[in-house]
Structure 1
Amino acid sequence: MSGLPETVLAELVGALGEDAVVTDPDILAAHSHDRASFCAAGVPAVLLRPRITDEVQRVMRIAHRHRVPVVPQGARTGLSGAANAVDGSILLSLARMNRILEIDTVNHLAVVEAGVVNSVLSEAVAEKGLFYPPDPSSWRESTIGGNIATNAGGLCCVKYGVTRQYVRQLEVVLADGELVTLGSRTAKGVAGLDLVGLMVGSEGTLGIITKAVLALRPAPRPALTAAALFTSPSAAMAAVEKIMSSSIQPSLLEFLDGVTVRAVQAYRDMGLPPEAEAMLIAQSDAADAARLVTEMAGICREAGAVEVAETDDPKEAEMLLEARRLVNPAVERLGTTLIEDVAVPRSRLVEFVEELGRIAERRKVIIACPGHVGDGNLHPTIIFDRNDEQARDRALLAFDDVMAAGLAVGGTITGEHGVGMLKRSWLSTELGPRVTALQVGIKRIFDPQGILNPGKVW
């Protein structure tokens, strides 16, 4: 049984065809959650796989008429539970809507459907001498629609910014099935309120994104790379502060703490030294990259780096970046993970990582901490045995401690993963009651019946 009345299921089959309507319990279970392994997931009624925008509209009209909750999904690579099913819901997968519709080399635009995978788009525009900068670690799997829904960042965001800065126009299906176009293809545009900016990062709670017009950049020069090893995270963060307070603009500045370095090396031999307690990876793609990389290497040495290497070999650089992208699967092998996404002012990084060490010691948990330190975005990951009730309780206490520590230094509870289910209880703490009420009011305007991704964010 699908969990839906047979009449509703029949309407969905009539709207999409039998091959796009899935009720097999095993498939539903596999699609009922994202990668936030500790977040609860309900039992969905049906998985739908539309191929065109008109089919998404048909689904939403039916859902609206019968007040059935709808959970939009892309590749389900999220880390906050935003794509998790709720009981009796329609899982609406946009994965089949995966066409690149246009690459405009004059206006530097790409027009894509929501299910296009980030790396597929990046490689397609690179063939035209162009560049789509947002590159989350899941870029070989995550979809553009999901990236927009969470305002994804990535490794290059220290120089090039996050997804919001590249979204010009969106095609969105509203809760009642109406199709609207938000924004403009033009480089400038202030006609009315910025509803594109509102939709970016809304985690499927305001509408279903089906198509996007994205801004592109000219392809950058090949980057040069430096890697530095430290005896403590604090020393690495001191180097970050000095780099970012200089005139240098790195195109990438990534951090792995000792727990993460050892986890990645155990997962796959990347030549990482297990004795390192911190590692920075820095790149520059500027015209004078050689000078800038050498300067960053020098700053790392002055901050106490015990080993620094510079390379202009693309293969060596790619190996270092691959090590960074392997962090999540590597750390997951250590146990159940609660992955945080705290962003703090760069001037408070040393203070924050030192507090992480105290939290780990006080709560008797392991905390791995990779991050995009160039913009202050860290991912403290609490590792524990979910089958051990005391370990689980300590992990939850540590999670709250990390949230509080981030806010205490002027940070935010999420830099790029979103609120989803994982951080709902902390959102009002950061925003305050009045701003929370304003956001809930906006949600009600877009979705008065509350059928779009209920139980997420607010």
Structure 2
Amino acid sequence: MTLTQLDLTALLDALPQDAVITDPDRMASYLLDRANAPDGGTPAAVVRATCTEDVQAAVRFAVANGLKVVTRGAGSGLSGGATALEGCLMVSTERMREIDIDPRTRTVRVQPGLMNAEVKAEVAKEGLWYPPDPSSYEICSIGGNVATNAGGLCCVKYGVTTDYVLGLTVVLADGTAVTLGGPRIKDKAGLPLVKLFVGSEGTLGIVTEAVLKLLPAQRTPCTMVATFGKLDNATDAVAEIQRGLRPSMLEFMDKACINAVEDLTKMGLDREAEALLVIQSDESTAAAVEELATIEAICQKHHATEVFTTEDPEEGEAFVTARRMAIPAVEAKGSLLLEDVGVPLPQLSALVDGIAAIAANRQVEIAVVAHAGDGNTHPLIVFDPSDADHAARAQQAYGEVMSLAIELGGTITGEHGVGRLKKPWLGAQLGDDAMALNQRIKDALDPTGIFNPGTMFEG
């Protein structure tokens, strides 16, 4: 059957008016995520679901007509996991925006289309806090966060998305909807299936609802900024800080990131510094001051060229904003290949030094920004796509950075997901036996390979 022969009547009848898009011009904005993976296609249709039943109808139609299904949230993903396939059925969760807060259990039930920032804002009205905070928190959806097990700036102390997902509703490959977990802090009944679906990148099922754990509102943090004349001094300071302290934020920017951010903000960052750390403590004010004083001593021990501390919330937030701007600031210099490789903390220095060596060898610029406190780095490879040789060298560097992380006992992805772009390196990290086990689980839950083929798995 060709796409022109595909009869959408059953799908149109099962869904709300204007839920299905088939016009190529209207579908154009659904084809790629932020990674701009090069091997995408045009869907047969885009379904803008509003509820679990809509998703079930879409999946059942896809099964009946032999279509693959790709799920899309806000399209802010950085690994190509929401890339449309030729002739697929694209299921968008953008209209799934319900939220129900229960302050008694400190949980919130949300549909996947809400932005991370929207959930934070709504629960804050009840004096509560949803901690996971990717740098893109204003434009990334909860569904995408669950799909990739997103982290963020505060995960060094508070953990990542999976630490806050208590329950899920998931549509399976036959259209069945299952409810897993719920608003219970402790629940060990059955296999930990909630954890299985968090981070599965739309390959095992489609998440249509999540129950998230909340915390009491975070205290206003105190902020420290430390600059270093050598990269190794900064990474050594990070390692010592993490051995005995638990800051609520411990972020890293290298010289290229510092200068890119300064180009945009003109906030007076030291352009000659090789590294900058943004550190926060959200303990009570007295305890925070004491913790940052200890951290300052560690930074000075490791030859920090300048250390600045502030208890002023606006001043502190300005430095956090500068850190969040690092990726778009570097992107202003050219096209990017974005990575999120991570290593055990003792190997952080070796990873940063190794990335610099790869950049020099391939003659490409690689800026590095990192959630340094947990060893999760974001190397940003800048290249000119109109220069075939430059683009080829950038791609070589991209693979070499991932291979380096694996060699150092690390991972090819700490929070962005494997998607389509990193799939070639997944086996090298996991090994044959673990890859086979992953495939067996995929085959058990999605025997026909309907969900997101090409992301992590071939089918």
TM-score of the aligned structures, taking structure 1 as reference length: 0.97
Which residue among 207, 211, 214 is the counterpart of 1:213? 211
Whether 2:360 is the aligned partner of 1:361: answer yes
Query: C-alpha separation between the residues in 1 aligned to 2:4 and 2:174?
Result: 20
Aligned to 2:249: 252
Question: Which residue pairs with 2:197 in the alignment?
Answer: 199
1:255/1:372 contact within 8 Å kept: yes
C-alpha distance in 2, partners of 1:300/1:434? Answer: 43
Q: Offset at 1:24? A: 2.3
Which of the residues 265, 274, 278 maps onto 2:271?
A: 274
Report the alpha carbon displacement of residue 40 of structure 1 after superposing the two structures with TM: 2.8
Residues 254-301 of structure 1: CA deviation (Å, up to 9, x unaligned): 011111111122233343232222110000011210111121122112
Provide Cα deviations, 1:303-340, integer angstroms capped at 9, x if missing partner.
11111100011111111111111122212111121111
Q: Quick one: distance in 1 between partners of 2:185 and 2:262?
A: 44
1:286 maps to 2:279: no
Aligned position for 1:126: 124
Moved over 6 A (4+): none
Three-state SS of the structure 1 residue aligned to 2:304 is coil
In the aligned structure 2, how far is the partner of 1:172 from the partner of 1:5?
31
Give the CA deviation at 1:233: 2.0
8 A contact 2:406–2:428 mirrored in 1: no
Partner of 1:138: 136
Deviations 1:402-431 (A, max 9, x none): 111111111111100000011100001111
In structure 1, the residue matched to 2:316 is 317
Q: Which amino acid aligns with 2:227?
A: L
Aligned to 1:165: 163
Is structure 2 residue 398 aligned with structure 1 residue 399? yes
| SS, match of residue 343 in structure 1 | coil
Percent sequence identity over aligned pairs? 47
Following TM superposition, by how much is the alpha carbon of 1:454 offset from its aligned partner in structure 2, in angstroms?
0.9
Supply the AA of the counterpart residue of 2:189.
A
Shift in CA distance, 158/39, structure 1 to aligned 2, threshold 3 Å = farther
Superposed, 1:88-107 pairs within 5 Å as 88-100=87-99, 102-107=100-105
Q: After TM superposition, give the deviation of residue 39 of structure 1 in Å.
A: 4.1
Paired residue for 1:442? 441
Cα RMSD of the aligned pairs, angstroms, is 1.4
Report if the CA contact (8 A) 1:38-1:338 is conserved. no
Match of 1:153 among 151, 157, 160: 151
1:11 aligns with 2:5: no
The count of aligned residue pairs is 455
Q: Give the letter for the 1:284 counterpart.
A: S
Q: Show the counterpart of 2:374.
A: 375
Shift of 1:344: 0.5
How many Å separate the matches in 1 of 2:206 and 2:73?
11
Does structure 1 retain, via aligned residues, the 8 Å contact 2:35–2:80?
Answer: yes
Cα deviation 1:225-251 (Å, max 9, x = unaligned): 0001112222111110111112x2100
Alignment of 1:70-81 (within 5 A): 70-81=69-80
Contact 1:32 1:84 in 2 (8 A): yes
In structure 1, what residue type is equivalent to 2:152?
Answer: G
Specify the alignment match of 1:241 in structure 2.
239
How far apart, CA to CA, are the structure 1 residues paired with 2:267 and 2:9? Answer: 52
Any conservation in 2 of the 1:158–1:252 contact (CA below 8 Å)?
A: yes
- SS of residue matched to 2:413: coil
Judge conservation of contact 2:106–2:213 (CA < 8 Å) in 1.
yes
Are 2:338 and 1:304 aligned? no
Aligned counterparts of 1:39 and 1:290: Cα–Cα separation in 2: 49
Of the structure 1 ranges 367-376 and 15-24, higher mean CA displacement relative to structure 2 is found in 15-24
Pair 1:40–1:317, CA change in 2 (3 A): farther
Answer whether contact 1:37 1:336 (CA < 8 A) is retained.
no
For residues 264 and 26 of structure 2, the distance between their equivalents in structure 1, rounded to whole angstroms, comes to: 28
TM-score, length-normalised on structure 2?
0.96
Whether the 8 Å contact between 1:342 and 1:378 is mirrored in structure 2 is: yes
Counterpart-to-counterpart distance in 2, 1:142 and 1:208:
17
Shift of 1:183: 1.9
**Structure 1: gaps spanning 5 or more residues:** none
Equivalence for 2:41: 42
